[in-house]
C-alpha cells in the first residue's frame, strides 16, 4: 500500500481512512528505499482502535469520525489518501470517494483497495460445502451497517461514477494480488476470515454444525502442512483531476 501511494516526495501529508489498529499506518511511516517518509499521517476511523505506540508517535494524528460524513479536513489539505477494506461498509461509497477528492490537493493520489471476498480460497476435502460457506459469507450482512463482499471488483466503477458528482479521477493503475497463507492458528488471517464464514452460517443450524466441523478440518489440514488460504486483493490508484 505504501509503495502504491508513491511516497517519494518530502513533507507529504497522508491519511489512512479506516485505519483500524494501524497496520497500514505503520507501512506508511516506514522510510522507503530513498529514506523518505511522510511528514504526517492522519489515522481516521469511526472508533478508536489504533495501537498505543502509534497514538504516541508525533508523526501520527489519530481522529475519530463517521466515515459516511464529511471528512474532517479542508479542501486540498492532503497529498495522499489510503483506504483499505473500508468501502464495503459505507452507506454511499461514491459520496465518500467524492469527499476524498475534495480533501486531496490537485494531482494528489488516492489508493483505494479492497479484498474481494467471493474469491476466498480454502483448502478443504469438501469443495461443495466450502463454496456454499464462502457464498454465504460474501452475501452476508452480519452487522447493523452495509456490507458488500464483492467490493474489490467494483472499485473502478466507483471511481468512474465519481465524475457525475463533480469528483473526476484519473486512473493511474489497477492491480490485484493474492498472498498465500498457510497458518490456521487463532488470530491468523485465515482463521479470522473463517470465523467470519462461521458467523455468516448462524441463521441455519444444520449448516452451522457442518461449518464448525469444516473449521476443525481446516485446523487439522494446517497442522499436517496441507492447508492454503488466499483471497484476491484489488487496488486502484486514482489521481485527483
Distance CA(135)–CA(130), nearest Å, equals 8
Please state, for a pLDDT cut of 90, what percent of the chain lies above it. 84
Cβ proximity of 170 and 239 under 8 Å: yes
Q: Count CB atoms within 10 A of the CB of residue 91.
A: 12
CB atoms within 10 A of CB 109: 23
Cα 67 to Cα 53: distance, rounded to the nearest angstrom = 24
Q: Confidence band (pLDDT; 50, 70, 90) for 141?
A: low
Q: What is the pLDDT of residues 161-173, one digit of tens each?
A: 988 889 999 999 9
> What string of DSSP letters covers 170-209?
EEEEEEEE---B---STTSHHHHHHHHHHHHTTT-HHHHH
What is the pLDDT, as a whole number, of residue 5?
Answer: 87
Instruction: Look at strands 104-122 and 229-240 and give their pairing.
Output: antiparallel
At 101, is the pLDDT very low, low, confident or very high (cuts 50, 70, 90)? very high
State the average pLDDT over residues 155-165: 92
Q: CB-hemisphere CA count at 13 Å for 65?
A: 19
- Greater confidence (82 vs 32) lies with 82
Which pLDDT score, from 0 to 100, does residue 32 have? 83
Class of residue 114 by CB neighbours under 10 A (exposed 0-12, middle 13-18, buried 19+): buried
Question: Per-residue pLDDT averaged across 34-63, rounded?
Answer: 93
> What is the pLDDT of the chain when averaged over all its residues?
93
What's the mean pLDDT in 77-99?
A: 93
CATH code reported for the domain at 13-240: 3.40.50.150
Determine the Cα–Cα distance for residues 108 and 112; give it in Å rounded to an integer: 13
The total of other beta-carbon atoms located within 10 Å of residue 236's CB is 22
Whether residue 142 has pLDDT greater than 90: no
Report the pLDDT averaged over residues 26-30. Answer: 93
Helix, strand, or coil here: 65?
A: coil
The pLDDT score that the predictor gives to residue 182 is 97
What's the pLDDT score for residue 140? Answer: 83
Count the residues in the chain.
Answer: 241
Element (H, E) at 40: strand 40-45
- CA 177 – CA 4 distance, rounded (Å): 13
Band (7; pLDDT cuts 50, 70, 90): confident
Contact 241, 163 (CB under 8 A): no
Amino acid at each position: 500500500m505504501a509503495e502504491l501511494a508513491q511516497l517519494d516526495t518530502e513533507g507529504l501529508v497522508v491519511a489512512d481512512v479506516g485505519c483500524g489498529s494501524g497496520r497500514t499506518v505503520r507501512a506508511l511511516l516506514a522510510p522507503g528505499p530513498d529514506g523518505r517518509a511522510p511528514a504526517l499521517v492522519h489515522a481516521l476511523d469511526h472508533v478508536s482502535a489504533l495501537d498505543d505506540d502509534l497514538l504516541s508517535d508525533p508523526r501520527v494524528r489519530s481522529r475519530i469520525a463517521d466515515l459516511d460524513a464529511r471528512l474532517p479536513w479542508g479542501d486540498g489539505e492532503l497529498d495522499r489518501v489510503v483506504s483499505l477494506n473500508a468501502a464495503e461498509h459505507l452507506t454511499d461509497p461514491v459520496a465518500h470517494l467524492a469527499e476524498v477528492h475534495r480533501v486531496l490537493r490537485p494531482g494528489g493520489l488516492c489508493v483505494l483497495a479492497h479484498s474481494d471476498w467471493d474469491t476466498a480460497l480454502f483448502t478443504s476435502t469438501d469443495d461443495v460445502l466450502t463454496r456454499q460457506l464462502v457464498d454465504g459469507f460474501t452475501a452476508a450482512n452480519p452487522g447493523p451497517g452495509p456490507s458488500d463482499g464483492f467490493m474489490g471488483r467494483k472499485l473502478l466503477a466507483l471511481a468512474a461514477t465519481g465524475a457525475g458528482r463533480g469528483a473526476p479521477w484519473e486512473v493511474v493503475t489497477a492491480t490485484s494480488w493474492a498472498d498465500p497463507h498457510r497458518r490456521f492458528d487463532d488470530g491468523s488471517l485465515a482463521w479470522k476470515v473463517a470465523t467470519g464464514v462461521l458467523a455468516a452460517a448462524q441463521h441455519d443450524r444444520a449448516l452451522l454444525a457442518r461449518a464448525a466441523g469444516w473449521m476443525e478440518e481446516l485446523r487439522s489440514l494446517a497442522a499436517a502442512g496441507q492447508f492454503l488460504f488466499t483471497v484476491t486483493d484489488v487496488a486502484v490508484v486514482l489521481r485527483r483531476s
